[in-house]
Amino acid sequence: GKSFTLQKLSLQAFEGLDIVFFVSTNQVSLDWAPAAVAKGALIIDNSKAYRMNPDVPLVVPEINGDQIFPHPGIIANPNCSTVQTVMALFPLAKRYGLKRVVVTTFQSVSGSGKQAVEQLRAERKGELNTGSNVYPHPIFNNCLPHIGNFLENGCTDEEIKMVNESRKILDLPDLPVTATTVRVPVEYSHSVSVNVELEANFNIEDVRNLYRHTAGIILKDAPAQNIYPLPRDAMGRDDVFIGRLRRDESVPFGLNMWVVADNLRKGAATNALQIAEYRLKF
């Protein structure tokens, strides 16, 4: 119910600001973030422009919040599906060590923006293609086995983002990671199937207890009672939901899980705000 006055982006707009959130295109961040830093502001950037810059921290506060302070310039907010994935991996990395990670994402259309949500809703109602669709194929009653642009090696840039960002956040630059990203006809919340090979043996109940006592994670793991993470339950929540915990018997120390989070909350806005709160706290 509040009204806010908007002003045109300019150097003067950054005067006297302590923290500036960049939630725009990569080019806007590249063009204007350094100028805002020069005016004394801390930048929290939600684009991919600075994520892999070695001089810019890529932060999930529960994992590497120590990199926020006393960093004086730009802090990058990770890719939405990366955030929930590393939230699930980090406790395992500390306790058991990670040997290899395989992820398959099932990402909602809101990750492509408002127009994609409108496309899904229109197709659900049986409305005809207007020529302004976001996706190359219908998304209703469909799954698209790629997100982003295809690269020469057959992967997409979204898949490479997940690989590289996970390694950077976890500070495991040589960790073997592979990803497949899929767009699904769900409006909000991303789901990720995670298969991880650990360095040491584990007990499933110990893993459950580990997640029960990890900040930012809610365990929903009673599959016999049909209790497991669902996209609709995660919608509007700030937590990462984990369930379907089970051994992967194909390798000595393998673990499977299902990880769900609201891509607009912990996958984007919430994580950015937590970065700011962490900085202000110290």
| Each residue's pLDDT tens digit, 50-68 | 999 999 999 999 999 999 9
Distance CA 49, CA 47 (A): 5
Whether 134 and 233 map to the same domain: the answer is: yes
- Model pLDDT for residues 79-90, shown as the tens digit of each residue: 999 999 999 999
- Quote the CA–CA distance of 45 and 79 in Å, as a whole number: 11
Residues 145 and 228 in one domain: yes
**Residue 70 and residue 192 in one domain:** no
Across the range 247-252, mean pLDDT stands at: 98
Confirm whether 2 is domain-assigned: no
178 and 254, same domain (yes or no): yes
pLDDT of amino acid 127: 83
| pLDDT tens digit sequence for 102-151 | 999 999 999 999 999 999 999 999 986 666 799 999 999 999 999 999 99
105, 133: one domain:
yes
For residue range 156-173, list pLDDT tens digits in order: 999 999 999 999 999 999
Any domain includes 119 = yes
Of the candidate ranges 66-75, 162-171, 249-258, the one whose mean pLDDT is the lowest: 66-75
Question: Which CATH number fits the domain that encloses residue 59?
Answer: 3.40.50.720
Q: How far is CA 198 from the centre of its chain?
A: 22
Q: Do 133 and 248 sit in the same domain of this protein?
A: yes
Within this chain, do residues 90 and 51 fall inside the same structural domain, yes or no?
Answer: no
Average pLDDT over residues 212-225: 98
Residue 17 contacts by C-beta under 8 Å, 6 or more apart in sequence?
Answer: 36, 39, 40, 41
pLDDT at 270: 98
Catalytic residue IDs: 80, 190
Q: Are residue 50 and residue 186 in the same domain, yes or no?
A: no
Spatial neighbors of 55 by CB under 8 A, at least 6 apart, are none
5 inside domain? no
- Cβ-based neighbours of 116, under 8 Å, separated by 6 or more: 109, 110, 134, 135, 139
For the segment 9-63, what is each residue's pLDDT rounded down to a tens digit? Answer: 999 999 999 999 999 999 999 999 999 999 999 999 999 999 999 999 999 999 9
Same domain, 69 and 104: no
Residues 261 and 241 sit within 8 Å (Cβ to Cβ): yes
Percent of the chain with pLDDT over 70: 98
Looking at the DSSP assignment, which residues form a beta bridge with residue 74? 43
CA separation for the pair 259, 32 (Å, rounded): 35
SS3 56: coil
- Domain annotation covers residue 4: no
* Judgement on whether residues 135 and 192 belong to the same structural domain of the protein: yes
CB neighbour list of residue 23: distance below 8 Å, 6 or more residues apart: 46, 272
pLDDT > 90: what percent of the chain? 94
Report the distance separating Cα 188 and Cα 109, nearest Å. Answer: 7
Same domain, 51 and 109: no
Domain count, the chain: 2
Does residue 3 sit within a domain? no
Does one domain contain both 151 and 212? yes
Q: What domain range is 275 assigned to?
A: 11-78+270-281
DSSP 8-state class, residue 193: E
